[in-house]
Amino acid sequence: MTERPVLQPSTAHPITVTPTGRHVTVRVGGVVVAETDDALTLQESTYPAVQYIPLADVDPSALTRSDTTTYCPFKGEANYYNVGNAEDVIWTYEQPYPAVAEIAGRVAFYADKADITVS
């Protein structure tokens, strides 16, 4: 088995994790599935900023664990959740790499599969 690369954020590929400091509401199919005042904003390089929400602030009855996994050399292995009939709406790094350790216990939603409001 080939070892996966582990990369560190740098000036060429910066990653920052900061408190959002605002209320975040997430709807899937028009239904509120998450609300929090404790979101973190992860900004990675030139990608759009992502809200990481505590899993405890997501409606557990809306979630079904998916078999999907992906790998990011900066953050680690991601696991996914379905929300209702919508597949792989949420991802989470259960054991993130040290550079982004703050996102442990948090989930993020795909912006094209959920309505994310920061107010």
Average pLDDT across the chain, whole number: 96
pLDDT tens digits along 28-73 = 999 999 999 999 999 999 999 999 999 999 999 999 999 999 999 9
Instruction: Determine, yes or no, domain membership for 64.
Output: yes
Domain interval for residue 51:
16-118
pLDDT tens digits along 18-28 = 999 999 999 99
CATH number where 53 lies = 2.170.150.40
27 alpha-carbon distance from chain centroid: 15
Instruction: Determine, yes or no, domain membership for 45.
Output: yes
Q: Which residues contact 60 (CB under 8 A, 6 or more apart)?
A: none
> Cα–Cα distance between 34 and 60 in angstroms, integer?
9
